[in-house]
Amino acid sequence: MKNLMEIETLNGVSSQSPNRSINEAHEPEQTYGVEKILSRGRTCTFKTCYAACFNIYAIKLVDAWCDADLACWCKFTTGFV
């Protein structure tokens, strides 16, 4: 007859470690910032907005969009938590 420690280990749960799956390990979370770029006397289009944001944030740029007031918004990465 097997002892309790062997049975727990055979079932995939060791009595010496917490009941956590390997996939529950803490992954760093990406953090983001958003900046509004005012459009002065021009209509905002995705193409011009994205280009303006890319000139500022380059590879950190995640998204760009125009709001109802024709202002351009940039979403960019700020790091990991």
Identify residue 21 by its one-letter amino acid code: S
Question: Over the stretch 41-64, which tens digit does the pLDDT of each residue have?
Answer: 678 999 999 999 999 999 999 999
Q: Which residues make Cβ contacts (< 8 Å) with residue 65, sequence separation at least 6? A: 46, 49, 72, 73
CA distance 57 to 69: 22
Q: What is the pTM of this model?
A: 0.60
pLDDT at position 12 over 80: no
Q: Which residues of 3-37 are buried (b: 16+ CB within 10 A; e: fewer)?
A: eeeeeeeeeeeeeeeeeeeeeeeeeeeeeeeeeee
